[in-house]
A and B are shown apart, each in its own frame.
Chain A
Amino acid sequence: MSRCYLDTNFVYAHLRSKRGGTLGPVEAWRTKVLSVMDDAGVISSLVVDELAYRLILAWLRDDGAADPLSSYRNDPAAVMTAMRRRLVAAWRAVDLLGLELQPTEHAVVGRAKSLMARPGLAPRDAFHAAHAIEGGCALIASSDSDFDRVPGLQLLAPA
């Protein structure tokens, strides 16, 4: 059992797929990750930020927006007001999971700079990986294959 950093795409897939439904690959991924990680997964403020953004775009699409990104860009304040109730429910669910929030300490920023230099991760990926490493995680649950290039991190990707 090891500590595991949960990338946004993992948490998102979890929140958008009902257990026992027809979404087999998500269920398999969730089962794999939960079977090897310690009780509490680790996230960062980046995950919270990206999760909100992605959920809002998904909800706009659920509501019939043909181009969710344009809808959001046209009036972000109105969209945030309209999504308030659903966001509150999502945060309640995330809180229930008891995830550990890895703070963005000096060590995280320094590590991210190093990862941008070598192995040359994109800035956002570098910060995710840095939060994982400085949070003592040996595992990262993500569908982003770039994390395979990070020494010391084992990628738990969907099958």
Chain B
Amino acid sequence: MTKISWRVEQLAAQRGWGARQLAEEAGLDPKTVRNILAGRATRVDLNTIAQLSRALGVGPGSLWDVGPEARGAWERTAGVAGEAQPDELEHVLSGSWPEPPDPALERALRAP
């Protein structure tokens, strides 16, 4: 089961805000904010989410962390799209893909 947790505390800390200032900025009850910051709040109404989102300057979906089921997923998926050819990753690592257009430009350039 995917684990979902609040990341409001981290977002507030990035702005140097504690519970009181976040409550003021968002126009919310300090107790509600303290419960969210402590990760205790499990039932939060949409208005509160909207106010937090606005105050913190992020989209609503950024108020939570959705953790992967296992960190080992990175190990299991390495190389699943095939082994790169010798020069292929040199281009990727140097920031210069060998084929010039990006996909959006490719589509825009396609003849009608």
Does any Cβ of A come within 8 Å of B44's Cβ?
A: no
Residues of A participating in the B interface, judged by any CB pair closer than 8 Å: 3, 9, 12-19, 21, 23, 25-26, 29-30, 34, 38-40, 49-50, 52-55, 57-59, 61-62, 68-69, 73, 86, 89-90, 93-94, 96-100, 102-103, 105, 107-108, 124, 134-136, 138, 142-145, 157-158
A-B CB pair tally, cutoff 8 Å: 153
Interchain residue pairs with CB less than 8 A apart (27): A13-B84, A14-B78, A15-B79, A15-B80, A15-B81, A16-B88, A18-B79, A21-B79, A26-B93, A30-B74, A34-B74, A40-B67, A53-B103, A55-B81, A58-B85, A61-B88, A73-B110, A93-B76, A93-B81, A96-B68, A102-B62, A134-B59, A135-B59, A136-B10, A136-B11, A142-B95, A143-B94
B106 in complex: contacting residue of A3, A53, A90, A99, CB < 8 Å = A53
A96 in complex: contacting residue of B56, B73, B99, CB < 8 Å = B73
CB <8 Å contact, B59 and A25: no
Extra contacts besides A39-B65, A59-B81 (7): CB < 8 Å: A12-B92, A15-B77, A16-B82, A58-B82, A59-B82, A89-B81, A100-B65
Inter-chain CA distance A73–B68, complex, in Å, is: 37
Inter-chain CA distance A13–B82, complex, in Å, is: 10
A128 CB, nearest partner CB in chain B, Å: 11
